[in-house]
Amino acid sequence: MKIQNKKNGAFTLVEIMIVVAIIGLLAAIAIPNFVKARTTAQKNSCIANLKQIDGAVQQWALEQKKVATDTYSLTSAEIKAYMKGSRLPDCPGSGTYAAGANVSASPKCSLSSLGHTL
């Protein structure tokens, strides 16, 4: 007669705890990097929007024969006509855009302290 040894293929509590600890360590390393990458992407997208706005203002000024010291408003339909979809883009960081002091000055974002500057 043969004796059969049944061996269950289950994990021990220590093995499960080690796996959970490793996953927690990897998450602790990765999550701050994801947050930093998101912030950087928002900043770069905002700068691209500022470039698009500045290009529209410069095109408007050229076609309307404006000089560098003339002022403008971002809310005017004249400027929005030079933007895709005839509307200003939104800042991905929940900031707002404002016109520069004149045509030669760059537009501003309210989050300029976070690096959202042209």
pLDDT tens digit sequence for 63-114: 999 998 998 888 888 888 888 888 888 899 888 999 888 999 999 999 988 8
Q: Which residue has the tokens 């203002």?
A: 57
- Do 98 and 108 meet the contact criterion of CB atoms below 8 Å apart? yes
pTM of this prediction? 0.75
Residues above pLDDT 90, as percent of the chain? 51
Secondary-structure breakdown of the chain: helix, strand, coil percentages, each rounded to the nearest 5: 50, 5, 45
pLDDT value, residue 52? 92
Range of lowest pLDDT (1-15, 24-38, 68-82, 95-109): 1-15
